[in-house]
Structure formats: structure tokens, C-alpha cells
Structure 1
């Protein structure tokens, strides 16, 4: 119960700050106070406006905000996210474009489950939807999932990806962004052994920790330094009574957010101070640069505790993917089994989350894949966010990824077809001899 009480205490603090902001804004905007020409009143209203919005966003799931876009025919087409597969911990959604013919490229964008919603990839989706059929893994906030839904760890995550890939079929091109890269690679290897015909056509891994020890960062150092007992004791709590997931063990979003902000506290403090002054001067707007960034950055979700703990233990501490020792339901997932899925890695030289070297390590694990089906790209000057959503993505990386997809979209003989051809080849000489 003490962990549940701690969860409720954090929510109480958040709610109180939101209320204080709303109160300050309402009091300072009282018409009668306009008679007092004191800048402190305008400042209090600005502080209240920024504070209320800041703490309100922490428990709100952002909208995708992709309503329509103009196609090549010069007409605006409505975009609607439709659920293709619904699961307790996450859905597979498709961005349907009304009135547009089906695009030849079918892309599965695997979003991270690392504290933020899949909407963090909004700009990535926008850049791909223009000429691709885009599907996204939309992970759910663990606080809203009843305990009766069971656990969710790295193996469950991998099996979710396997199911999504099977649903979309072998002509799919998978792009995994950051945290899911190792597990997406494992899911592809799982299919290579269990259901070869369901493997995707290509796999692009962007800034993921395939081998965390290849290039240590502050994140990997923390994972190596802390013990699993310390993590479970200090980071995991039980969802409070307000939400449907009451009693579920989670790594709370609010706790994650405090860690995110602490990493660059001076930068964030300056950003909010400047925004308050802009609001006070009447220079801010609803969707200005500050609000667009922080509306997404502050919207955090709870992560299942078993997923968080197993990620740290198996991906970062024991490096099971890097050592090709990952197992799912007791079965060894051999990455060397991947033989006909083209794989590309993308890294940024200034990535301080998943440093250069961590992701490209995947190519050495693909012992069964010809070198002609392997590719890598290191983007100069790009940070972690830039390699999938920033200027570097739009101008350089996206064209390279689409070219890679197109160059590996030719006809591919499935495993069953290969087996049939092999059987026919064996039978042919006998038939000739008999004749």
C-alpha cells in the first residue's frame, strides 16, 4: 500500500500545481484588477496560464493531430487513424487516407514504449503518409490497464510485434525507432524460425540499443551501475485508486518525467521562464514553438514494471540481444536465422541516448544475411530526436530509408515456395529416368 500511496501522492502534487496555476490565472484575469496598472498582476496571470497548462498536459494523451493533407491530385484528403489489431497493452493502427488509392509501400512504424506516447512520432508519420500506407504500434498507458490483463515484459512485447507483422504480411517494411529496435530485430528472427513466410521485406533500425556496451552513454552507465533490487524498490510503484489499473505495478510516467527534466534542468527552467515572459507581453500563442514541444514532452505514460525491469536486466545488463542469447517462452531466438530480410541501421553522431555503434552492431549479428542486404548510415550532426523526426530525418534520412525500401521491394521467393521448388527439383531426375 505504501507504493500505492506514493503514486497517489505524486498525482496529488501534480493536481495541486495545476489548481494553483488555474487559480492564479483566474484571479489575475478578474476584470476589476485591470484598474490597477501593476505589472505583477499581468505576470501572475502569465505564470498561472503556463503552470496550469504544464501540469494538465502530464496526464493527457496527445491527439495525433493529422486531420488531412493534400495529395498529388491537388485535393485535401481526410486522414483517420483506424485500429487494425486491438490488444490490452497496445493496438496496431492504420492511418487511412480517404479517397486515395492504396500506396505500394506498406510501413510498420514501431514506436517506443519508453515513457511517451506513440504520438511522439507524429512528424515521422506525417512525412511518410504522403506516399506510404503507414501503420503504427500505439502502446497503452499501463495505469489504464486492469490487473486482470496480466503481465507485460520484453517477451510479451516481442510477441505483440510478431502478431502485428503476421497481420500485415510479408510485403511490409518495418521501421523501429530507438527503444524497440532490439526487440523488433528479435521478433523478425522469431518469425524467421517459426513462420518464415510472415517475415517483413525490410527492417530499418533507427538509434536503438542493440549492443549498449558498444558505445557507453549516461543511460548505459546508469543501467550498469544500479542493481535490479534498487530499481524495483526506488522506481516501481502501484497505480492508485483513480485509474482502471489500480494495483498494477508500474514505472510511473511522472517519475520518468522528473528524470527527463533533471538531465537538462537548466534548459527547461530557462524555457519556462522565457515562456512566462512571452505570455505576459502577449507574444505567446496556443500552438507556438514552446507549447508544441512541451505539450508532447510533458505527456507521459506509465510503463509496466515488468517491462521496464526486464528491459534493463536483459537488454542493458545481460545484453541478451547483443550476445544472441535472447529467448521467448523458453525458445532461443537466433538472429542468424534471418536470411532474406534486408536490414539497415541509422545513427546520429550527436546521439547521447543511443550513441553511434550501439545500433550498427545489429549487422554483425546477422550472420545468415548476405552483405548485399545490409546497410548502415551515420548522420553527421544529428542528435537522438533528429534522426527520426527532425530536419536530418526530413532532408537526409527519410529519402535514404525510402530508397532502401524501394531497392529491396522486388519479388521475394517465400520459404514455402523455395521448399516446393526444391522438392520438384529432386523429383525431376527420377521422372526423366522412369520415362
Structure 2
């Protein structure tokens, strides 16, 4: 009960601050307060508005907010978010564009399970929708999953990806963003041995810790500074009585958020101070830059304890993917078995979470893959978020990824027979890069 009490205490602090913010905003907004020439009341209301909104977002799952996309016909087409595969710990969802023919490129985005919802990749989805049929993994908040659903660790995560890839078929192009990169690589290798015909056509790994020791950062080296016992005692709590997952052991999203904020505490403090000033002066808007960013950034989800601990123990401490020793359901996965899935890695020059060198290590592990099916790109000046959601992604990386997809969308030889794609690629196939240095 000690851990459950701690979880409820954190939730109590959150709701208390939310209530204080709402109260301050209400008190400072009374008409009577306007009768006094005291700016302190305006600042109190502004502080309350920013505080209430911030703490309320921490317990709210953001909406996708993708309502339409402009088609090749120049018309707006409604976008429906359809659940294709529903499972206890996560769904496979499809952004179904109404009134548009199915796009030749079928893309599966594997979203990270690292404290934020899949909506963190909203801008990535939006940028791909005009040219692709876009699917994404939508992981559930562990606090809302009853204990009766059982455990969920990195092996279960990998098997979820295997199931999603099988469902989507062999003409799928997979893009894994950050944390899931090593497990997506393992899932592809699993299919290479168990069901080769179900493998995706291409695999793009963006800023993921394939080999965390290749270029250690404060984030990836964290696991080496503490023992697993210390980690379990200090980070793991039981979900409180407020949620359906009551009693489940989790790594709370609020703890993860505190870690995120502490990394750049001064920057965040200044951002909130400036926003309070803008609200007090009447210069802020409902969807201004600050709110747009922090509505997503502050929305956090709990991870199951077994997923968090097994990630640290096996990916970061044990380096099971980096050493090609990863085991799923008692079966050792050999990444060298990947022989005809084109693999591309993308890294950011200024990435302080998964530094350059960590993700490109995947290409060395693919010993059975010819160089013509390997490619990597190092984006100059880009940080971690920029390589999948910022200007670097939109202007440079996205076109390279789409070109890589088109280059590797031809028929595949599986078991001596040619497997033809269901639809022809949008652009004519071109020879893949002959060496890993190609973008």
C-alpha cells in the first residue's frame, strides 16, 4: 500500500494545484476586482489560468485533432480515426481519408512508449497523410488497464508489433520513432525467421537507442548509474483508487514528466513566466505557440513497471539488441536473418537523447542485408524532436524517407516466388544506395 499511497499523493498534489489555479483565475476575474487599479489581481488571474490549464493537461489524453486533408483533387477530405486492431495495451489505428483512393504507400508509424501519448507524433502523421495511407500504434495509459489483463514487457511489446505488421501485410513501410527502434528491428527479425512473407518492405529507424553505449548521453547512460533494485524502489508505484488499473505497478507519467522538465528547468520556468505575462496583458490565445506545445508536452501516461524495468535492464544495461542477443518468448532473435527488408537510419547531429551513433548501429547488426538495401542520414543541426516533427523533418528528412520507400517498393522474392505489391508505387522504382552513406 505504500506505493499506492505515494501514487495517490502525487495525484492529490496535481488536483490541488489544478484547483488552486482555477480558484485564482475565478477570484481575479470577478467584476468587482476590476474596480481597483491593482494589477496584482490581473496577474493572479493570469497565473491561475496558466496553472489550471497546465495541471489539468497532465491527466488528459490529447485528441488527434486531424479533421481533414487536401487531396490531389484539391478538395478537403474528412479524416476518420479508425481502430483496425484493438488490444489491451495498445491499438493499431488508421487515419482513413474519406473519398480518396487508397494511396500506394502504406506506412506504419511505431510510436514511442516513453511517457507521452502517440499524439506526440501528430505533426509527423499530418505531414505524411497527403502522400500515404498512415497507420500508427496507439499505446494505452497503464493506469487505465485492469490488473486482470496481465503483464506487458518489452517482449509483449515486440509481439504486438509482429501482430500489427502481419495484419497490415508485406507491402508495409515501417517508421519507428525513438524508443521503439530496437524493438521494431527485433520484430522485423522475428518475422524474417517465423513468417518471411509478412515482413515489411522497408524499415526506417529514427533516433532510436539501438546501441546506447555507442555514444552515451545523460538519458541513455542513466541505467548504468543505478541498480535495478534502486530503480524499482524509487520509481515504481501502484496505481491509486481513482483509475481502472488500481493496484497495477507502473512507472508514473508524472515522474517521467518531472525528469523531462528537470533536464531544462530554466527554459521551462521562463516559458511559463512569459506565458503568464502574455495572459495578463491579453496577448495570449487559446491555441498560441505555448499552449500548442505544452498541451501535448504535459500530457503524460503511465508505463507498466515490467515494461519500464525490462527496457532499462535489457536494452540499456544488458545491451541485448546491440549484442544481437535479444530473446522473445524463449526464442533468440537473430537480426542477421533480415535479408530483404531495406533498412534506413536517421539521426540528428545535436540529438541529446539518442546521440549520433546509437541508431546507425542497426546497419552493422543487419549482417545478412546487402549494402544496396542499407542507408543512413545524419541531419545537420537537428535535435531529437526535430528529426521527426520539426523543420528538419518537414524540409529534409521526410522527402528522403518517401524516396527511400519508393526505391524499395518493387516485388519481393519470398520462397522462390515473386510477391507483387497490391498497388504500384507512386514513383518509379530507383536503384537503392550502394553503400550505407547514402541518404
Confirm whether residue 96 of structure 1 aligns to residue 96 of structure 2. Answer: yes
Could you tell me how far apart the structure 1 residues matched to 2:15 and 2:418 are? 61
Aligned to 2:42: 42
Could you tell me how far apart the structure 1 residues matched to 2:256 and 2:389 are? 21
Could you tell me how far apart the structure 2 residues matched to 1:377 and 1:57 are? 35
Q: Is the 8 A contact 1:251 1:304 kept in 2?
A: yes
Aligned to 2:118: 118
Could you tell me how far apart the structure 2 residues matched to 1:312 and 1:252 are? 15
Aligned to 1:408: 408
Aligned to 2:212: 212
Could you tell me how far apart the structure 2 residues matched to 1:84 and 1:72 are? 25
Confirm whether residue 328 of structure 1 aligns to residue 332 of structure 2. Answer: no
**Cα distance 1:416–1:236, how it changes in 2: closer, same or farther (>3 A)?**
farther
Q: Is the 8 A contact 1:382 1:392 kept in 2?
A: yes
Aligned to 2:246: 246
The Cα shift of 1:334 comes to: 0.2
Could you tell me how far apart the structure 2 residues matched to 1:220 and 1:203 are? 23
Secondary structure of 2:41's counterpart equals helix
Could you tell me how far apart the structure 2 residues matched to 1:367 and 1:408 are? 19
Q: Is the 8 A contact 1:197 1:416 kept in 2?
A: no
The Cα shift of 1:82 comes to: 0.2
Confirm whether residue 362 of structure 1 aligns to residue 362 of structure 2. Answer: yes
**How many positions carry a matched residue from both structures?**
419
Give a deviation string over 1:364-408, Cα, whole Å, max 9, x none: 000000000000000000000000000000000000000000000
The Cα shift of 1:141 comes to: 0.1
Aligned to 1:430: none
Could you tell me how far apart the structure 1 residues matched to 2:187 and 2:53 are? 39
Confirm whether residue 300 of structure 1 aligns to residue 300 of structure 2. Answer: yes
Could you tell me how far apart the structure 1 residues matched to 2:375 and 2:33 are? 65
1:364-383 → structure 2 map (5 Å cutoff)? 364-383=364-383
Aligned to 1:201: 201
Q: Is the 8 A contact 2:221 2:316 kept in 1?
A: no
The Cα shift of 1:416 comes to: 6.1
Aligned to 2:423: none
Secondary structure of 1:12's counterpart equals helix
Structure 2 residue runs without a partner (length 5+): 420-439
The answer to which of 87-96 and 32-41 deviates more is 32-41
Higher percent of residues as helix: 1
Aligned to 1:65: 65
After superposing on structure 2, the runs of 4+ consecutive aligned residues of structure 1 that deviate more than 4 Å are none
**Cα distance 1:315–1:108, how it changes in 2: closer, same or farther (>3 A)?**
same
Could you tell me how far apart the structure 1 residues matched to 2:104 and 2:413 are? 18
Q: Give the TM-score, by structure 1 length.
A: 0.96
Give a deviation string over 1:8-35, Cα, whole Å, max 9, x none: 0000000000000000000110111111
Could you tell me how far apart the structure 2 residues matched to 1:389 and 1:118 are? 13
Q: Give the TM-score, by structure 2 length.
A: 0.95
Confirm whether residue 154 of structure 1 aligns to residue 154 of structure 2. Answer: yes
Greater gyration radius? 1
Structure 1 residue runs without a partner (length 5+): 420-435
Could you tell me how far apart the structure 2 residues matched to 1:171 and 1:140 are? 27
The Cα shift of 1:418 comes to: 7.2
1:146-185 → structure 2 map (5 Å cutoff)? 146-185=146-185
Secondary structure of 1:219's counterpart equals coil
Give a deviation string over 1:54-110, Cα, whole Å, max 9, x none: 000000000001001221211111001100000000000000000000000000000
Give a deviation string over 1:284-335, Cα, whole Å, max 9, x none: 0000000000000000000000000000000000100000000001101000
Secondary structure of 1:212's counterpart equals coil
Aligned to 1:78: 78
Aligned to 2:384: 384
The Cα shift of 1:159 comes to: 0.1
Could you tell me how far apart the structure 1 residues matched to 2:189 and 2:70 are? 38
CA RMSD of aligned residues (A): 0.9
